[in-house]
Structure 1
Amino acid sequence: MDAVNEWLLARGDELWTWVVLPVVVGLGIYFTVRSGVVQFRLIPEMFRTLTDKTPRTATGEPQSVSAFQAFTISAASRVGVGNIAGVGTAIAIGGPGAVFWMWLMAFVGGASSFIESSLAQLYKTRDADGFRGGPAYYMARGLGARWMGVLFSVILIVCFPVAFSSLQANTIQATVAGGLGEEVSGWLPWAIGVALAVLMAAVVFGGVRRIASVTQTLVPLMALLYLLLGLIIVFIHVDRVPVVFTAIFAQAFGPNEVVGATLGYIIMTGVKRGMFSNEAGLGSAPNAGASAAVTHPVKQGLVQTLGVYFDTFLVCSITAFIVLVSVPDLAGAERGIALTQGAIVGALGDWSNILLSVIIFLLAFSSILGNYYYGESNIEFITQQGSALLGYRILAIVAVFFGAVVSADVVWNFADGAMGIMALVNLIAIALLSPIAFRLLKDYTAQRRAGRDPVFTRDRLPDVRGIEVWEDELSVTGPIDAESVARQTRKHRDHLHHE
């Protein structure tokens, strides 16, 4: 098993160093320039669209989840192991300088996030719960490459609801075991595994709207708890804050002798762990973004970009400062959750282990739910058979159970490689479709300049094929007759199929 782990680690590093990293950085810069730095220029619009009213049906029901609920589903997946264990690992192996590259790539990656989520909205489809979509859908409809969408879906299912959710469960178990002591470590993982599996089953069999309602409550609560904890620790060590800022910027451009990291490794660590955390350009968040009922695709593109900032500039930064103000000497520092956990306990005392266990549970369990939804959306893309969805739900629940009782090393490194491949497939697709996203952005800004709340209909891009919804302004803004729209959608879907 050790040999397999070493092989996965080595191949994963090669993939990220020579292939994924150049593509992620290059396309992020290209999208930034072509969009006129949309991720900075339209920050006020991000907050405005986050609270938009949800279009409704003729019976008064929401057409689908709201922009804010879709934001929380994606945030639920983003905020988890990557923010605590991932940032701790980045600092342990890359030093404080890795934090700078996480920040920089969050800003650059914001443009990629805008492109992918706007495209996911444009090419979304209707289902029983409202809307669904994501990279698989814009690959099939925008590029006419269903095979590419199926490939992406399979990689995502292996990566997120199986591997990453296993890691989230493992982190919950490790945190609780670390807080309670070695004497319960033999039976505790099994008990936690069963509890997580039962909780997950109760939520996922309720459908996407139950997932949205759960994450809408959990995400703000977990963020508030964790940010408050971090601010208390930073306040206790406030005299070290200037030193930490200096270290982050000074060591971003040179080797770190303490942890033995070269400049190239510092950059790669920051970018890699940053992408694992905020998922910008990875192709996961668009699955949640496509589920929202909004009046223009660009609105959810902006909301999902805000999600990248929320994840990195707030939650990841809090973890970084917790570690760096509490552990001045990183020589021999433990990686992952142990480093962050040790920093918190060292600053606040043993009682904080209980609070941290609660926070880890909220962060990781909400991530498990977000990961599950991503997989469900892609299962429905591959096949509409109910047995496939049932089998997927059972697989996702079993993965969470086993994640709590097995070692995470092999799964982590395997997931890292799968994440790199998934990012490549998605980035190629959005690069090819980006001219359409830029046209959407131009249409949105033109309507805003005219004093309108932007509304998109597919006749605004008459030459673009593969758009299933966005029939007319009434169906987009609501209230609508759901049955008549469903008939219109089926007719248009059949037309697209015959084309």
Structure 2
Amino acid sequence: MLDFLNDLLWGKVLLVLLVAVGVGFTIASRFVQFRYFGRMFSILGASQAFKKDKHGHLSSFQALVLSVAGRVGGGNIAGVAVAITLGGPGAVFWMWVVGLMGMATSFLECTLAQTYKESEGDGTYRGGPAYYIVKGLGKQWTWLAGLYSVLLFVTFGFAFTALQSYSVATSFGDAFGVPVLYSGIALAMVVGLIIFGGIKRIANISEVLVPIMAGGYILITLLVLGLNIEKIPDVVTLIVKSAFGLEPALAGGMTAAFLYGLKRGLFSNEAGLGSAPNVAAVAYVPHPANQGIVQAFSVFIDTVIICSATAFLILLSGVYDPAAGAGAEGGIALTQSALADHVGEWGRTFVSLALLLFAFSTILYNYYLGENSLNFFSRNNQNLFNAFRIAIVLLVCWGATTDLGTVFGFADVTMGLLAVVNLIALIMLFKPGLRILKDFDSQIREGVEHPVFDAKKHPDMNLDPQSWEIEPEDLARIHQVLGNNETATTKD
């Protein structure tokens, strides 16, 4: 039954919905992910100034690294290898296409999460699909928001947290011979110290950890590219040709390349699942579209940069046999063997350590998704949050030592249902998403360097006015740039 449901959801329903939303919003928004690609960097630069406030706000950059912590995981190392093994090198091309379209989906869902976020009163915010479903579609859709929150809690809060713990413990055991129980206990202690500090501590840790783990992986890839620079044009040609079935010797042909590239791309970057909007909503930004643009960049980081890094490590190595197809060594073992072929046996250890960091950051991300889903049912219930934190610590220990096959067959189904709920909501919220983008576009056309969202101009959208109050010092900075004292709302 689980296999049937997974095949139905991931092989048919979700492929149609995810592609429809990605391509549909790309066209409707006039290719927003490309129009504002360069602006992503200026927004992140400006966010560092906002981060220095004394009011407890989290910056756009901190929200970005939180989402990257979740998007970047084992799928970027093992998942890409599986896609190439089963779909051939052409799967990489379709991963790129899906990533570029997924940037538009991420822009839509994260812009909506920002628009409908709610202030916590301590400088932080809450938001995500459950919030934009209720506030954007109306209270008659509360049941759908509740269903989404339950699915989010079960899938990310519990099941995938245990999976990441299992991945960390087994990978560490393979690399260094440490018993999984000891790894699980150590991991649980570190996770506990971080999550009991709340979202601010999680953001601070992620701000340091994520750039190190992603940067290190990219650097080793650049080293490999430098050592094999003369082979790069041939690999790119191989990817493009096999994507369109022009390499008949490759197993699977165009259909396999398309399907596995599509699946790996869609489910690696999580665009459309509704998970990233939960952390996108925590950012303190002057306009919702700012974080939509930044979160689109996180999809680019995940799929176009890091997944490509793994793909080139494999395709430039001497261990991948294009004609072997499904019978070839796949998953994490293929990536480890490929890097070892390039740099020596220490490459296997490096991949294990990279997987350790990727999975650890994902546990922190998964915890926050679970907490946010609980908050939807019982707002700011610290006793409930503390009970969940204790459960997570115990779950990390248990997951490190347990065979989780059946659990994650079930979690795949709940994650598929999670995506269906979110994608249906996004389709119904196309209009308000485009409305917010239009507000941003119009200010840019008027020459405004840093557009500011005025919630008072949208009284029909059921927004939280406190979420769009700008601190006086930040208001002064914006006024200095804009030269207009009437472009932003102020605190009383």
When the two structures are superposed, what TM-score results if normalisation uses the length of structure 1?
0.87
- Out of 447, 453, 456, the position equivalent to 1:451 is 447
Equivalent position of 2:64 in the other structure: 71
Cα gap change, 1:306/1:22 in structure 2, threshold over 3 Å: closer, same or farther?
same
Distance 2:407 2:337 in 1: 24
Matched, 1:96 2:89: yes
Say which is worse superposed, 312-321 or 378-387, in terms of deviation.
378-387
Equivalent position of 2:277 in the other structure: 286
The C-alpha deviation readout for 1:111-142, integer Å capped at 9, x for no partner, is 11101001000110112451111111001111
Equivalent position of 1:463 in the other structure: 460
Q: Which amino acid aligns with 2:353?
A: V
Equivalent position of 1:234 in the other structure: 225
* Per-residue deviation, 1:266: 3.0
Equivalent position of 2:489 in the other structure: none
Distance 1:90 1:49 in 2: 34
CA contact (8 A) 2:118 2:126 kept: yes
The C-alpha deviation readout for 1:395-421, integer Å capped at 9, x for no partner, is 333332233223354344333322221
Q: Which amino acid aligns with 2:457?
A: R
Equivalent position of 1:431 in the other structure: 427
Secondary structure of the residue that 2:316 maps to in structure 1?
A: helix
Distance 1:259 1:379 in 2: 48
Equivalent position of 1:81 in the other structure: 74
Equivalent position of 1:311 in the other structure: 302
Distance 1:55 1:232 in 2: 33
CA contact (8 A) 1:457 1:470 kept: no
Matched, 1:339 2:330: no
Q: Which amino acid aligns with 1:463?
A: D
Distance 1:352 1:198 in 2: 28
Distance 2:438 2:212 in 1: 36
- Out of 154, 170, 175, the position equivalent to 2:171 is 175
Cα gap change, 1:477/1:163 in structure 2, threshold over 3 Å: closer, same or farther?
same
Equivalent position of 2:371 in the other structure: 376
Matched, 1:254 2:245: yes
Distance 1:433 1:27 in 2: 11
Secondary structure of the residue that 2:119 maps to in structure 1?
A: strand
Superposition RMSD in Å: 2.5
Q: Which amino acid aligns with 1:378?
A: S
* Per-residue deviation, 1:455: 0.9
Equivalent position of 1:24 in the other structure: 18
* Per-residue deviation, 1:239: 3.7
Secondary structure of the residue that 2:403 maps to in structure 1?
A: coil
Secondary structure of the residue that 2:460 maps to in structure 1?
A: coil
Distance 1:413 1:258 in 2: 34
Equivalent position of 1:328 in the other structure: 320
Q: Which amino acid aligns with 1:225?
A: G
Say which is worse superposed, 231-240 or 98-107, in terms of deviation.
231-240
Matched, 1:267 2:264: no
Distance 2:411 2:237 in 1: 33
Secondary structure of the residue that 2:38 maps to in structure 1?
A: helix
Secondary structure of the residue that 1:197 maps to in structure 2?
A: helix
Q: Which amino acid aligns with 2:455?
A: R
Distance 2:315 2:405 in 1: 25
Secondary structure of the residue that 1:403 maps to in structure 2?
A: helix
The C-alpha deviation readout for 1:124-166, integer Å capped at 9, x for no partner, is 0112451111111001111122211111111112222322233
Distance 1:228 1:474 in 2: 39
Equivalent position of 1:487 in the other structure: none
Distance 2:408 2:183 in 1: 20
Q: Which amino acid aligns with 2:93?
A: F
Cα gap change, 1:357/1:17 in structure 2, threshold over 3 Å: closer, same or farther?
closer
Matched, 1:399 2:392: no
Secondary structure of the residue that 1:61 maps to in structure 2?
A: coil
* Per-residue deviation, 1:299: 0.4
Cα gap change, 1:174/1:458 in structure 2, threshold over 3 Å: closer, same or farther?
same
CA contact (8 A) 2:133 2:144 kept: yes
Q: Which amino acid aligns with 2:89?
A: P
CA contact (8 A) 1:455 1:476 kept: no
Distance 1:434 1:299 in 2: 18
Equivalent position of 1:483 in the other structure: none
Q: Which amino acid aligns with 2:320?
A: P
CA contact (8 A) 2:131 2:145 kept: yes
Say which is worse superposed, 248-257 or 125-134, in terms of deviation.
248-257
Cα gap change, 1:56/1:328 in structure 2, threshold over 3 Å: closer, same or farther?
closer
Cα gap change, 1:137/1:193 in structure 2, threshold over 3 Å: closer, same or farther?
same
* Per-residue deviation, 1:208: 0.6
CA contact (8 A) 2:336 2:347 kept: no
Distance 2:400 2:23 in 1: 39
- Out of 181, 191, 196, the position equivalent to 1:200 is 191
Distance 1:255 1:10 in 2: 32
Matched, 1:136 2:133: no
Distance 1:17 1:354 in 2: 34
Secondary structure of the residue that 1:195 maps to in structure 2?
A: helix
Task: Note the residue ranges of structure 1 that are not aligned, 5 or more in a row.
Answer: 1-6, 480-499
* Per-residue deviation, 1:387: 3.2
Matched, 1:364 2:364: no
CA contact (8 A) 1:163 1:399 kept: no
- Out of 87, 103, 109, the position equivalent to 2:102 is 109
The C-alpha deviation readout for 1:365-413, integer Å capped at 9, x for no partner, is 1111112112211211121333322232233333322332233543443
Cα gap change, 1:425/1:46 in structure 2, threshold over 3 Å: closer, same or farther?
same
The C-alpha deviation readout for 1:14-33, integer Å capped at 9, x for no partner, is 22222110111112111011
CA contact (8 A) 2:55 2:123 kept: no
Distance 1:443 1:89 in 2: 42
CA contact (8 A) 2:47 2:61 kept: no
Cα gap change, 1:471/1:265 in structure 2, threshold over 3 Å: closer, same or farther?
same
Distance 2:165 2:82 in 1: 18
* Per-residue deviation, 1:357: 3.0
CA contact (8 A) 1:67 1:300 kept: yes
Secondary structure of the residue that 2:283 maps to in structure 1?
A: coil
Q: Which amino acid aligns with 1:343?
A: A
- Out of 203, 207, 219, the position equivalent to 2:210 is 219
Secondary structure of the residue that 1:43 maps to in structure 2?
A: coil
Secondary structure of the residue that 2:330 maps to in structure 1?
A: coil
Equivalent position of 1:494 in the other structure: none
Distance 2:265 2:473 in 1: 35
Extract structure 1 runs of 4+ deviating beyond 4 A.
54-57, 255-260, 470-479
* Per-residue deviation, 1:471: 5.2
Percent identity over paired residues: 42
